[in-house]
Amino acid sequence: MRTGRVPQRRHHTVTIHGKGDKDAAIPLAPRTRAAVEQAVDDLLTGRAWHRSPDRRGVATRPLEPMSVRATGQEDRRRPTLVRMGEMVMRDQSRAGHVLGGAQVTGLADEVTVRDILRTRIRAEVATYNADPGPVFRGLIQPADGVRHSDGFRMQRPRPLDAELLIAAAEEATRLGLLRLHLDGRPVDLDEVITPADHGELAAILERSIVASAS
């Protein structure tokens, strides 16, 4: 698309290349020309706003700036989609009684067992801290929690520190109080796995793991 002037009328024009290799010059009214120039300038500088389906038509987020080649063609930057993995964790006692479990999401395609454990605990703590209540449902027992059938009963609802619970879990694996089995075989925290290739990660507790001063 090219712009030009019609000298006789002092109007700006837009030249459109149509079928049959023919150009058509369309005069623009002053207000239309100003709007077009502003829109082009905003797109090139990244100031344009994307209209969402908001009923009021309010712009909600800016468009990404566009890079322009020497030919004048515009190349929008496209986001890279990252496929995230997930892993089922099942908690059980040494005798095989199921104590609980979780669906751990947001994992990379390849991840260490340690990262799965940390991701799970952080998610459980974040869920509880969003609205602290009488029961915390998670793998690790807070210092002032008491195990019940529905989770850990808190003496006083309060925000928890995820890093203290993570430290307790990792120390428990070092001492053999928490063992991790991937599809029935023992694994250590630093083993790298592909979640999509496995069924579940079992957390076998010799006893409740309590995070001191959590």
Domain boundaries, the chain: 2-75, 85-211
pLDDT band, residue 20 (cuts 50/70/90): low
- Return the amino acid letter for 163: E
**Cα distance between residue 202 and residue 113, in whole Å:** 11
pLDDT (tens digit, 9 = 90+) per residue, 39-83? 666 655 555 444 444 444 444 444 344 333 333 444 445 554 445
- Residues forming a β-bridge with 26: 14
CATH 3.10.20 for domain 85-211? yes
* pLDDT average, residue stretch 80-87: 68
Q: What is the per-residue pLDDT for 153?
A: 96
